[in-house]
Amino acid sequence: MLAVILSGGSGTRLWPLSRETYPKQFLPVVSDETLLAETINRGLALSDDARVMAITNEDHRFVVAAHLQAQASGRTAGIILEPVGRNTAPAIALAALAAAEVNPEELLLVMPSDHVLRNLDAFRAAVDVGAKAAKVGKLVTFGVVPSSPHTGYGYIRGGTSQGGYSDVAAFVEKPDEATAQRYLDEGDYFWNSGMFLFRADRYLQELESHQPLMLAACRKAFSEKKADLDFVRVGREAFEACPDDSIDYAVMEKTRDAVVVPLDAGWSDVGSWSALWEIQPQDENGNVCRGDVITEDVHGCYIHSEGRLIAALGVSDHIIVETDDVVLVADRSRVQEVKKLVAQVKAQGRQEHRFHKKVHRPWGTYEGIALSERFQVKRIVVNPGGTLSLQKHHHRAEHWVVVKGTAMVTRGESETLLTEDQSTYIPLGVTHRLANPGVIPLELIEVQTGSYLGEDDIVRFQDTYNRV
């Protein structure tokens, strides 16, 4: 079985913790593990020979690769990069085309990278049932047994039951509260989990029947694939021409072979702050508190601190989230409207929707400490063996002070090894590079001075990670 993990979302509903360049699947929002790490482990735990493939994008590729190297070393079937987002149906088609090159009847278990499943044994049992149906050509979806009349999920109505699964009678859009209660009372409706299981060849056959233009575009893009480090890049122009559609609309609602397997495994799509409040242990006042938090007469709240102390008094049913650069305060019943705040941030030309203060790069991280009109101070951490690109700047000079570890500094034609408490100066226009030849993280303070301090003032001459 091949676990296909879809990891291209931006997770804006959990803003400000989740940002476009580092969304919720890369965050430990429920446990000490990130949601992506939990998903990888879930796929690998299905059998001793299970493997993992990831579908992601340019922005997230190095974080996904780091997760797979850490969690699934030796059991990875590749990382496919989508040149542009075209929804789930084309993404899964790329995975099916890759799998079919090796084994057309490979079972593909498709999972989003940002869901929570509390009961792994129940999940395995559901997958076992689904595998039996998939092997004989069925296209399986997993329907979550509802625990409440939820209006935020689409529903699946089950039909004739057979062998632990049912024919899909209908896919239903998100209902109003009265309709959701009726679905719960009738008992044959399930939440749509967004997880699927089928043979690679069967998915491609159904796509050929119902979305031939989509399959043709994906085939052409995949035929133009090129290897780039750990990644597979497909043809951009062909994939851009691919229709944009979800697997539900493109295939599952049209095929005659769709079946649903009931899943009762403590599932959540962690689709909002209120969902995160619902699935985590609450104190005697119904609060979920993470980080440095003190409360007095507070009830039914989710309070999350990334650093500073949050002191809350006399509030109920609120979401309070503190990060280095944003504090969110919201009524818990209105958290689906967080996207309106994100839209305002974008409209104002700000960057808080896209970046955290700590920005992740394939070599490590950098974090802004101070910024003024003509200077900026950053804390830079370079992983062991990490190397920044050979580059220069047109508008700024840089001063580097090593705080921890060892730095190999290229400055023009010279190379210098710097240790703790040593420093160097990179004049404007001088070609330079920073690398960590040691076995512990390199930490340094960078002071930039100049007329323009934007991240786009980088001219790269050579880059270990093949960035433009």
The SS3 call for residue 443 is: strand
Rg (CA), the chain: 24
The SS3 call for residue 63 is: helix
Alpha carbon distances (Å) from 111 to 91, 196, 279, 300, 412 = 12, 7, 19, 31, 48
Residue spans of the domains in the chain: they are 2-268, 273-344, 358-462
Number of other CB atoms surrounding residue 352 within 10 Å: 18
The alpha carbon torsion through 85, 90, 16, 360 (nearest 10 deg) reads -70
* Global confidence as pTM: 0.90
The C-alpha atoms of residue 153 and residue 190 are separated, in whole angstroms, by 9
Work out the burial of residue 198: count CB atoms within 10 Å of its CB; fewer than 13 is exposed, 13-18 middle, 19 or more buried.
buried
- Select the CATH number that applies to the domain covering 2-268 from these four: 3.20.20.140, 3.40.50.1700, 3.30.2310.20, 3.90.550.10: 3.90.550.10
**Of 177, 184, 133, nearest in space to 157 by CA:** 184
Across-strand partners of 330?
319
Distance of CA 176 to the CA centre of its chain: 29
**Topology agreement, domain 2-268 and domain 358-462:** no
The pLDDT assigned to 243 comes to: 95
- DSSP per-residue letters across 399-410: EEEEEES-EEEE
Q: 74 in the Ramachandran plot: left (φ > 0), alpha (ψ -120 to 50) or beta?
A: left
Number of other CB atoms surrounding residue 462 within 10 Å: 11
The pLDDT assigned to 467 comes to: 81
The pLDDT assigned to 24 comes to: 94
The SS3 call for residue 220 is: helix
Angle in degrees, CA 212, 215, 218, rounded to 5: 150
**Pairing, β 396-404 against β 442-450:** antiparallel
The pLDDT assigned to 152 comes to: 84
The C-alpha atoms of residue 376 and residue 357 are separated, in whole angstroms, by 13
Could you name the CATH architecture of 358-462? Sandwich (2.60)
Tens-binned pLDDT, residue by residue, of the chain (468 aa): 999 999 987 778 999 999 999 999 999 999 999 999 999 999 999 988 899 999 999 999 999 999 999 988 889 999 999 999 999 999 999 999 999 999 999 999 999 999 999 999 999 999 999 999 999 999 999 999 998 898 888 999 999 888 899 999 999 999 999 999 999 999 899 999 999 999 999 999 999 999 999 999 999 999 999 999 889 999 999 999 999 999 999 999 999 999 999 999 999 999 899 999 999 999 999 999 999 999 999 999 999 999 999 999 999 999 999 999 999 999 999 998 999 999 999 999 999 999 999 999 999 999 999 999 899 999 999 999 999 999 999 999 999 999 999 999 999 999 999 999 999 999 999 999 999 999 999 999 999 999 999 888 999 999 999 887
Work out the burial of residue 179: count CB atoms within 10 Å of its CB; fewer than 13 is exposed, 13-18 middle, 19 or more buried.
middle
Number of other CB atoms surrounding residue 203 within 10 Å: 27
Phi and psi at residue 457, to the nearest 5°: -85, 60
- Yes or no: say if 282 and 288 are a contact pair by the CB < 8 Å rule: yes
Q: What is the DSSP letter of 350?
A: -
The pLDDT assigned to 131 comes to: 96
**Position of tokens 């242990």?**
281
Q: Quote helix, strand, coil % in the chain, to nearest 5.
A: 25, 35, 40
- DSSP per-residue letters across 88-144: HHHHHHHHHHHHHHH-TT-EEEEEETT-EES-HHHHHHHHHHHHHHHHTT-EEEEEE
